[in-house]
Amino acid sequence: MNIAGLGARIRQVALTSADGTSQAVRLYEVDDLERYVDVGALLGERDPVDPPYWALVWSGAEAVACALMAGPSLVGQTVLDLGAGLGLAGVAAALRGARVCFADRCPEALAYAAASAAANGLVGWDCVQLDFTSDQIARRFDRILAADVVYDRAHHAALASFLERHLAHGGSIWLTDRLYVATDAFFADMCARGFADDVEDLVVPEMGETMKTRLHRLTRQVSVGAPAAQPT
């Protein structure tokens, strides 16, 4: 099978909830990824290119997906999987009943996420190609999943603005931080924008190893005495 011009294979990913129950998800990934990575271009000093981060399942997606499987039904909820990559987090949200929008700046990522959504028999999902540093979409979401997208400090302010602008009243942002870059200023910015941050430290699988990752659940604080927010 070929997706977006790249050889593809399907694999079963077991999502294990905190209570030990497990659900298998079918996920397309690039077959023999190394074949497509231009190491010379990646290591070249001139005109550096982004590595194909989208083509791997990161610990963030695993953490978010497992937490979603352990959580309540998402029937009737809208979910944005921002920086979806292969789309594991969004697929898990859709399996819990949400209407999911997969968003990424890489069209190849969206092609893979769409193939996996179809392979799991999901309905009610769509894909949007966007760059969160410059684009907006005319929608707000009940939940925004942002698994391992907070790695570039130059984009922190734009990411915070995007998240704030696209979250519906009463919604929440589930964002993972793999603790590789300094993110204190980013989370301080989110708190300054009125968000409360509930943090959970997790150890999750990633490419055959285990990784520490931090799951942030960000919700808008309601000030005492403020009028209740009206649904949009």
In angstroms, the CA 149 to CA 16 distance is 23
Interface with ligand SAM includes 36 (CB under 6 A)?
no
CA-based R_g, the chain, Å:
17
Interface with ligand SAM includes 132 (CB under 6 A)?
yes
Q: Quote helix, strand, coil % in the chain, to nearest 5.
A: 30, 35, 35
Q: In the range 154-213, which residues lie near ligand SAM by CB under 6 A?
A: 155
How many residues at the interface with ligand SAM, by CB under 6 A?
A: 22
Interface with ligand SAM includes 125 (CB under 6 A)?
no
Find out whether 123 and 146 touch, Cβ atoms under 8 Å: no
Interface with ligand SAM includes 17 (CB under 6 A)?
no
Tell me how far CA of residue 1 lies from CA of 9, 55, 69, 123, 226, in angstroms.
Answer: 7, 16, 29, 22, 55
The maximal CA–CA distance of the chain, rounded, in angstroms, is 59
Interface with ligand SAM includes 90 (CB under 6 A)?
no
DSSP E strand stretches across 55-183: 78-82, 99-104, 126-129, 141-146, 167-177
Closest CA to 164 of 66, 72, 80, 59: 80
Interface with ligand SAM includes 79 (CB under 6 A)?
no
Identify the DSSP state of 55. Answer: G
**For ligand SAM, the closer CB: 57 or 215:** 57
Minimum CB–partner distance for residue 45 and ligand SAM (Å): 22
Q: Of these, 29, 142, 148, 177, which contacts ligand SAM (CB under 6 A)?
A: 148
Candidates 32-40, 116-124, 145-153, 213-221; binding stretch for ligand SAM (CB under 6 A) = 145-153
Q: Which amino acid is at 172?
A: S
**For ligand SAM, the closer CB: 61 or 168:** 61
In angstroms, the CA 197 to CA 51 distance is 30
Q: In the range 42-61, which residues lie near ligand SAM by CB under 6 A?
A: 53-54, 57-58, 60-61
**For ligand SAM, the closer CB: 139 or 169:** 139
Candidates 2-10, 14-22, 102-110, 185-193; binding stretch for ligand SAM (CB under 6 A) = 102-110
Q: Which amino acid is at 190?
A: M
Find out whether 58 and 147 touch, Cβ atoms under 8 Å: yes
**For ligand SAM, the closer CB: 5 or 76:** 5
Q: Which residues are near ligand SAM by CB under 6 A?
A: 53-54, 57-58, 60-61, 83-85, 88, 104-106, 109, 130-133, 147-149, 155
